[in-house]
Chain A
Amino acid sequence: MIAHVAAAGEGRGRVVLWLGSSARTSSAAIDAAMLVAHAYDSEVESLFVEDQQLFEFASLPFARIISSDEEGWRALPSVDLEREIHLVGAALQRQIATTAREASVTYRSRVVRDDPMRALARACSETGPWNVVTIAEPFGAWKEDRLRDLFSSVHGTTGIVITGPMASRIQGPIIVVVEEIERLSPMLKAAERINEATGGPVKLLLVGDRQDELAWLEGEARLLFSDGEETPFEVVLVERGDTAAVAETLRRHRAGFVLAQYGGLTVPAEGSLRPLACALECPLLIVR
């Protein structure tokens, strides 16, 4: 966990900004990457992955592509593909470099031609002890099972930041979605660390699918705050698989950043993340 590592004083972590094969990026994702890097005094490395499979495809005799602007299909020679991918990559990296400069964040860029998961796993294993992978493409442009692939294939990642198509801001309350009492303290600490960079308030959202469990969680949370300053929190009862209530609560609070655990009710390991991601107006940091 980021909070655990940060508390230990280890600053060797990194934010890996994954630039996919599409030219479509979310400015909120890029801002989120800079924010996390700034909060943890770390660097951002953009990783532009030239998907090897595309080059394999381009070498096929019948390789052709179609774009929404053009009528009909056209051939895609390898040299054209290479040039186009190179142009997209260069443009993206220029954009990110400018953002990093403005945010006073150390920035590095890398271009690799490989399988995306393998490239990410390699990048995250090179530097530790923590890496946060920020996906530049807004959710929806990439396959939904990619998130599962990331958590399962990229062992060096501590958390993944995603943005939905509605994401437009990183200013606002930092909302920590807690479903297990053990995670409350470390996630809250992570939120407070990020809060130092944004200046927004930190709020707690307790989520459960059973009223009694939620009540117990709430009681434990109050005990935790009884010694010191209480963080405002709200309780949301959700049905398993239905994140609409969580999404609505987050929208109502105009969250600027959300932290949630992977594999819970809010971000299930199985099932669709789309309803939540598409409603979010801010980045979502999914912690392992």
Chain B
Amino acid sequence: MFFRRSKQDTAKPRAIEPEEAAKAESEPLKLDSITPEPVTDVTVAAEAEKAPAKANGTPSGSDNAPMEPKIHVDPKALGFETTADLEPEGDLIGQERALEALAFGAGMKGPGYNMLVVGPAGSGRHTAARTKLEATASKTGAPPDWVYVSSFDSIGRYRALKFPSGTAKSFAEGMARAIDRLKEALPAAFGAEDYELRRRTIEEEFRFSRADALEALRRQVEPQNIAVLSTPAGIAVAPILEGKVVSTAVFNSVPEQLRNGIEAKIAAVETEIEAILARTPDSEKMLSEGLMVLNEQVAGRQVSAALEEVKCEFEDISGVKNYLKAAARDLVRNAGLFVSEAGKVDEGPRVPINTTGDPRFARYRVHVMAARGVNSAAPIVQESNPTYANLFGRIECGGGAESHEPQVVRIRPGALHRANGGYMFLDARALLAQTAVMDALLRALSECEIRFDPPAEPFGVSAGEVPDLEPIALDVKFAVFGEAADHRQLAKQWPDLPRLFKVEARFDDTIDRSQEAVAAYARLIAGIVTRHSLKPVDCGAVAVLIDEASRRAGGNGKLSLEVGEMADLCREADHWAGSAGRAVTSIADIERALEQRNERAADARGSVV
């Protein structure tokens, strides 16, 4: 019996990876490696011809002279007809050490036990890591929520508040509702007649205090024939006689001594008037203070009422009570923001201002950085583009119409915030392309905090004006995926890396081709079929796939563990089986898939050249 050669073997040689070439060079070719042990090595051409027919009843698909696949595995020896007869294997085989390392890294508490996941693409490292970590994450429980809120200080700092899992959004919504409530309540309060009356009373008290003093002075000096007069230009002091101002002629007719005496009296009264007017600045200060107290009373009542709901619900959470106090003080101080400026009291009712989108009101926004569901597990976040903004978040600034200073409009979370309390997957090659970000990331890992310190200023903010965000405690387990060369490069550029990444999960790209391994591989293929909802694969096709795996591993007693490639082959063969109307994927379909792949690879090489 002769094996049907696959066209791939005769037409175009498979491209040999450098590592394989190096391996091949180092290991002399052994005859017994061509026929891997301990698989039953039976070459039966008739059976090979029958195998595809048995599987699907039709000859293999090529119109050319049929190529005998070089099957080193006896399909019959596999012990099943199709993969439907098998118990599907998980995503991996032969990666026990790597899986053990992942389990260890996932379970180790404390900093420094981040993971380097080394292995070729397609080795199933991502899937394996996710599966392992999901199991741990589900037992960990939901991490806390985090928000940023303004500290309302002059520096413009933002405080980080930690909330029980699943409550931060509710707090943010509660604050937003309170601000919305004030949009109506404050204009109404300051437009109310009661407020107007009290305000005018205070103003008149100020006016009266001066008027009273002048009136008292007037009454005092009138018996002395001195009058205090009001003119359009101000206050004057004049001599009077029988209640009437003395005319010039009459005044000049009076003896000089008397005239001098009258002028002296007038001068004294003028001095008193000056003193009364000089007290005005203090009165103005008192007026201003009185109005401020009134405004604070009026605004304070409304602000307290608006914040009551959120206070009752959240004041037991650390930091919230102080935040609400500071917010209330700030709201009272800035109550005028809520009232339209175009609409003074005398001109009509005040109208509420549109706060939506107005940067001046952004100071009251609660920026949710991490919010979980109440019963969610620890998060697993994959960031494929690890820029600074994507990892650490970004700040959006906007300027008020009358302000030249940028206002923080929104603080957006990064992947670190989303992953906090859980796990993050990063790609080594992507990190190598972001040197500054990697520095920041390692700092974050060393200090166990997410500190916003971007290498470039946020848009709209000049140097030195980056808002100060309180660092948030970082509790993330990292897994950096890459091939060996990428990890070597990382370690070379960042010598500190091993201190922070103590766990290495190395995914092999091959496994020894044992009987057990072959059987496991068959189950692996069954698992691929199940996961991708493919047609069952017959034992002949499985044998071809195993052989292909062997060939990819260099054919020297190994099987390739590039599960991704296997999965792609299965899917493509499934497609061809479907095209041919077959219910079971056969050797012909695998063959065709391989053939098509080789043609695509050749085309790609040709186009590159």
A residues near B (Cβ < 8 Å) are 21-23, 27, 53-54, 56-57, 59-68, 70, 72-73, 76, 80-81, 84-85, 87-88, 140-143, 165-166, 168, 254, 278, 281
Contacts and interface: CB of A to CB of B under 8 A. Distances in A.
B204 A81 contact: no
B229 A60 contact: no
B274 A66 contact: yes
B234 A53 contact: no
B257 interface: no
Nearest to B232: A88
Given A68-B280, A80-B233, A88-B232, 6 more contacts: A59-B248, A60-B246, A64-B236, A66-B236, A67-B235, A165-B200
23 contacts: A53-B244, A53-B245, A54-B236, A56-B246, A56-B247, A56-B248, A60-B251, A62-B263, A64-B236, A66-B277, A68-B277, A68-B280, A73-B274, A81-B231, A140-B208, A141-B211, A143-B218, A165-B204, A165-B207, A165-B208, A166-B204, A168-B200, A254-B193
A65 B234 contact: yes
Contacts of B234: 65-68, 70
Interface in B209-237: 210-211, 215, 218, 229-236
Contacts of B277: 66, 68
B200 A76 contact: no
Nearest to A115: B244
Contact of A141 (B196, B230, B232, B244): B230
Contacts of B233: 65, 67, 76, 80-81, 84
B229 A54 contact: yes
Closest 10 CB pairs of A and B: A67-B234, A53-B245, A65-B234, A88-B232, A57-B238, A165-B204, A56-B245, A59-B248, A65-B236, A84-B233
B232 A85 contact: yes
Given A56-B247, A65-B236, A281-B197, A73 B229 contact: no
A59 B247 contact: yes
A84 B230 CA distance: 13
Interface in B570-605: none
B223 to A, nearest CB: 14
B213 to A, nearest CB: 12
B543 interface: no
Contacts of B232: 21-23, 84-85, 87-88
B235 A63 contact: no
Contacts of A141: 211, 230
B273 interface: yes
A226 B215 CA distance: 49
Q: Which of A59, A60, A278 has the most CB of B within 10 A?
A: A60
Contacts of A21: 230-232
B266 interface: yes
A149 B371 CA distance: 77
B231 A65 contact: yes
Given A81-B231, A166-B201, A57 B236 contact: yes
Q: Which of B197, B232, B245, B270 has the most CB of A within 10 A?
A: B232
Contact of B211 (A27, A80, A140, A166): A140
Contact of A73 (B211, B245, B270): B270
B215 to A, nearest CB: 8
A249 to B, nearest CB: 15
Interface residues of B, number: 36
Interface of B: 193, 196-197, 200-201, 204, 207-208, 210-211, 215, 218, 229-236, 238-239, 244-248, 251, 263, 266, 270, 273-274, 277, 280, 346
A244 B239 CA distance: 38
Describe A's contact surface by its main secondary structure: loop
B236 A63 contact: yes
Contacts of A143: 215, 218
Nearest to A137: B230
Nearest to B211: A140
Contacts of B201: 166
B231 A84 contact: yes
A166 B197 contact: yes
Contacts of A60: 238-239, 246, 248, 251
Nearest to B267: A62
A103 to B, nearest CB: 17
Contacts of B208: 140, 165, 278
B196 A168 contact: yes
A254 B192 CA distance: 13
A46 B247 CA distance: 28
Contacts of B263: 62
B245 A57 contact: yes
Given A66-B270, A66-B277, A165-B200, A57 B229 contact: yes
A113 B359 CA distance: 58
Contacts of B270: 64, 66, 73
Q: Which of B197, B230, B238, B266 has the most CB of A within 10 A?
A: B230
A23 B201 CA distance: 21
B251 to A, nearest CB: 6
Nearest to A89: B232
Given A23-B232, A80-B233, A166-B197, A62 B204 contact: no
B153 to A, nearest CB: 38
A53 B235 contact: no
Contacts of A70: 234
A250 to B, nearest CB: 12
Contacts of B266: 62
Contacts of A72: 274
A281 B197 CA distance: 8
Nearest to B234: A67
A66 B273 contact: yes
Contacts of A87: 232
A161 B231 CA distance: 23
B231 A54 contact: yes
Given A57-B245, A63-B236, A64-B236, A76 B197 contact: no
Contacts of A278: 204, 208
Contacts of A27: 346
A60 B204 CA distance: 34
Contacts of B235: 65-67
A126 B49 CA distance: 136
Nearest to A72: B274
A141 B211 CA distance: 7
Contacts of B239: 60
A22 B211 contact: no
A87 B232 CA distance: 9
B463 to A, nearest CB: 45
A275 to B, nearest CB: 12
A108 B575 CA distance: 101
Contacts of A62: 263, 266
B197 A22 contact: no
Nearest to B239: A60
Contacts of B215: 143
Contacts of A85: 231-232
A60 B233 CA distance: 17
Q: Which of A27, A80, A168 has the most CB of B within 10 A?
A: A168
B287 to A, nearest CB: 13
A172 to B, nearest CB: 10
A80 B231 CA distance: 12
A57 B266 CA distance: 12
B199 to A, nearest CB: 10
Nearest to B207: A165
A66 B230 CA distance: 10
Contacts of A76: 231, 233, 236
